[in-house]
Amino acid sequence: MIGRLPIAKMLAATVALTAAISAVMLPINWDGQQASTAAPKIDTLLDVMIVLSAFVFSLVMVMLFYALWKFKAKPGDESDGEPIHGNTRLEVAWTLIPTIIVLFGAGYSWAVLHDIEEPAEDPLTVDVFSQQYAWSFSYPGKGNAFSEGELHVPLDRQVHFKMHSQDVIHSFWVPEWRIKKDNVPGITTTAIVTPDKAGAYQLICTELCGFGHASMRAKVVVEPPAEFREWVGGLKDKVPAPFLESIRQDTETNPEPLGAGGA
Amino acid sequence: MAAAIKQPGWIRGVLGAVLAAAFGFGLVVVLREISGLPIWQTEQTGYPHVVVPLVTGPLGFLAGFGCFDYWLRWAAGMPTIPDDHSQHGAKSWRDYFRFNTDHKVIGIQYICTTFFFFFVGGLMAMLIRAELAQPGTQIVDAATYNSLFSTHAVLMIFVFVIPVFAGIANYVLPLMIGAPDMAFPRLNALSFWMLPLAGLLFIGSFLVPGGAFDAGWTGYAPLSTGAPLGQSFFNLGVQFAGASSIATALNFLVTIITMRAPGMTFWRMPLLVWANLSTSLLVVAATPFIAGAQFMVLFDRALHTQFFQSAGGGDVISYQHIFWFYSHPAVYIMMLPGFGIISEVISTHARKPIFGYRLMALALIGIVVLSYSVWAHHMFVAGMFSWLRVPMMITTLLIAVPTGIKIFSWLGTLYFGKIHTYSTAMLFALAFIVTFTIGGISGVMLGMVPLDIHVSDTYFIVAHIHFVLFGGSVFTIFAGIYHWFPKMTGRMYDEKLGRVHFWGTLLGTWGTFIPMHWIGMDGMPRRVADYAAQFGDWNLLISCFAFMLGAVQLVFLYNMIVSWRFGPRAEANPWRANSIEWQVSSPPPIFNFDEIPRVVGGPYEFGVPGARHAIMGGEGAEVTKPEPTVVGQA
């Protein structure tokens, strides 16, 4: 049965279509600017997935349109097709090959995940406080310096964000860093980021938190360590008491990200 | 008047609703008075004098309307009123507004009711897209916007996609397996009548102080536990929709397992029957979880329990675990029946046996099993235990395998067939393969933790779910409606208008939802009334396509209504299909079969010389007489 199909031509068409789709899609920077060490790794994973997906999509398209072109009934043809009920080899193939592809994807993703969450020596810990509809931050040293609506972090140093919510769930996302984590009332969640490009970015709340959700933003500044130290040194506010309370009370149900290996 | 009050029906139903609501209200007043509490409690999460009548009122309506009459009489030892089947079938449109135990009437009641909610939910989508056409807020304020997208999703999920499949199966499935009706016809009618009540609760929440529920269809605690009164309408509406779903699933399970015609072994069941068997297995086991989750939220709100209050020792994230333990299987509840429809349509119109029939059935069962082990992929950034992410990623990606089997088997079915594309049903089925493949691919990407971390809660998610729920489920619903329209109405629909609807829907779906992937990856979060100006152009384009998509649904509506009334008479079997429902007249006789058919072969034996699926009664062959129906006995 398969012998009667132009398999080589169909495969060639699939490869050609895959190449064409990849050629159009790969040069586009889908995720936007990259500003953390995690970003290029995640974007490379995306590119690999684009090529694999293009292959699967092309295969389905070639199979579908070849069938529609070749086996379309002539007008007035009321006869039935050939009574083919299946083909065990083919069925095994389209069970096993996708299994291999997705397991490859899972293994690769696991490796990337491990990589981007690997704790570094001497990280900076920053506490993040969210409430309807504002962000604030506290930095180590000088009795916890505190800033509202503006987050500064040093360039090229790993930052561990310890997140606390005062009311409902919020989510911490800086698209250029590719890192997102929910802030959950009652527990401390952690996100690990190593910013590697100086500049100003936006922190976006991505978990629906009420009518002010769309405008719950904060400014993020990544700057050289000296400037960062100077900025923190200039902070006048102390962390408000309820926020300190939430640091004390929140349980760290999830103390170590994957990369820490249960340290 | 007195006679009207004695008879089950609308007058007694409304009276029952009013009396029961008044009883609930009185109960609250009296209990609060006795307890020395202030009579009126109007904290936004409270309003017991509204919430309690919301429970009792709908139950009063169901009782008054006649849903419980037979059982109550039997339970009370009163003489039951024998069902003389005089109300079987529908002679005029009025009969569809009565308590009716005929599965064919109930099927049409389901389909029309759910499509009503589809159009209401669709109008909300139009408002959402109008607001999003430009950055800034123009048409609705942010709070109303939150209510709109929440209600849109809830209507589409709970009172359109899930129940419309129950409606189609209600009509078609008993005919397909050669059964005279569903196993429990009264339960079937009760299931249906709970559905409009759920829809009315969802829509009715717009009228209460604080507006409709606005915590998204996911209703995450603690946003939902502190939300205004409308949230309680959601909590309770889900109970009615869920109870309806569970009862129907039980009904399907018993019907499929016990009422197949003689000779119809499991391996001779059409794939639509397999699909509904799988779906029902998911519904009966998973739906109680969302019912439980919503009760816990309601109790946190009204009774000050602390399930999800971290300050009181509750666990916020457990809400998401319980919710998604239902709601991930729910996406298969919204997809598997569609898979069944596509199998019927493609096999019939390609004039070919289903390629790999047994593997197709096993793939359905594989999806059922796997779908219980993937829920936490919705929670990769939620702050749950981090090690849980990797096993959930692996199971999530593996579920692509049985889904892929189905796609490839449909394609295999087309090969060496005689593909007819004159039917709009077949066009939707073929387009479904393409759009669902795209939705599946973006689903695999979302299953990968590092990619998901970046795109979760962005427009990429909105794009993905609409590709699988609109490009997937709704396409299969349209395919099913067009396919069985001649059977249900006895009329043919207009294929020209069908084609306009098809191409408009296809273009509209792609134009609306493809660019959403791009703006999501580029940084636009979901569930926002306002967004950064850089996304303005894309959003304007998306809105234009969305309006076109909305408008073209009116062509469908017109086609269905006018064809139902004036369409040319349909033959018994216009698509030359094999399964049993096509071997009876269009519409089928009131009791489906004079004699129960006998199944002698598989359902898709196209092109096999001399093959038969079923021998119908009166064909001279030896046929089994149906058991005489014993009336008036419980």
Q: What is this structure's pTM?
A: 0.94
B454 to A42: CB separation less than 8 angstroms, yes or no: yes
For B501-511, how does the pLDDT look when each residue is reduced to its tens digit (9 = 90+)? 999 999 999 99
- Cβ neighbors of B119 (< 8 A, separation 6 or more) are B553, B557
| Joined tokens for residue B621 | 């062959």
Q: Which of A86, A113, A175 sits opposite B356 (nearest CB)?
A: A86
How many A/B residue pairs have CB atoms within 8 Å? 271
Q: Which of chain A's residues have a Cβ under 8 Å away from the Cβ of B407? A: 60
pLDDT at B610: 87
pLDDT at A96: 95
pLDDT at A3: 80
pLDDT in tens, chain A (263 residues): 778 899 999 999 999 999 999 999 999 999 999 999 999 999 999 999 999 999 999 999 999 999 999 999 998 888 999 998 999 999 999 999 999 999 999 999 999 999 999 988 889 999 999 999 999 999 987 567 899 999 999 999 999 999 999 999 999 999 999 999 999 999 999 999 999 999 999 999 999 999 999 999 999 999 999 999 999 988 888 888 888 888 887 777 654 444 443 33
A71 to B416: CB separation less than 8 angstroms, yes or no: yes
B390 to A91: CB separation less than 8 angstroms, yes or no: no
Question: Whole-angstrom Cα distance, residue B416 to residue A1?
Answer: 9
**Which residue of B397, B399, B462, B534 to mutate against A (max A Cβ within 10 Å)?**
B397
**Which residue of A70, A102, A216, A219 to mutate against B (max B Cβ within 10 Å)?**
A102
| Joined tokens for residue A143 | 């009795």
* 3-class DSSP state of B523: coil
Pairing of strands A150-154, A217-223: parallel
Asked if B429 is an interface residue toward chain A (Cβ–Cβ < 8 A), one would say: no
B383 to A187: CB separation less than 8 angstroms, yes or no: yes
Report the percentage of chain B scoring pLDDT > 90.
84
A113 to B450: CB separation less than 8 angstroms, yes or no: yes
Distance (Å) from the alpha carbon of A253 to chain B's nearest alpha carbon: 7
Count other C-beta atoms under 10 Å from residue B577's C-beta.
23
**Which residue of B416, B433, B573, B605 to mutate against A (max A Cβ within 10 Å)?**
B416
| Joined tokens for residue B253 | 């399970």
Name the nearest CA neighbour of B360 among B419, B298, B293, B406.
B406
State the pLDDT confidence band at B81, using cuts at 50, 70 and 90.
Answer: confident
Asked if B44 is an interface residue toward chain A (Cβ–Cβ < 8 A), one would say: no
**Which residue of A184, A190, A246 to mutate against B (max B Cβ within 10 Å)?**
A184
For B336-363, how does the pLDDT look when each residue is reduced to its tens digit (9 = 90+)? 999 999 999 999 999 999 999 999 999 9
| Joined tokens for residue A249 | 């009370």
B417 to A180: CB separation less than 8 angstroms, yes or no: no
Full 3-state SS string of A33-102: CCCECHHHHHHHHHHHHHHHHHHHHHHHHHHHHHHHHHCECCCCCCCCCCCCCCCHHHHHHHHHHHHHHH
A106 to B397: CB separation less than 8 angstroms, yes or no: yes
A45 to B451: CB separation less than 8 angstroms, yes or no: yes
A105 to B397: CB separation less than 8 angstroms, yes or no: yes
Q: Which of chain A's residues have a Cβ under 8 Å away from the Cβ of B464? A: none
Cα four-point dihedral sign B83, B84, B89, B94: negative
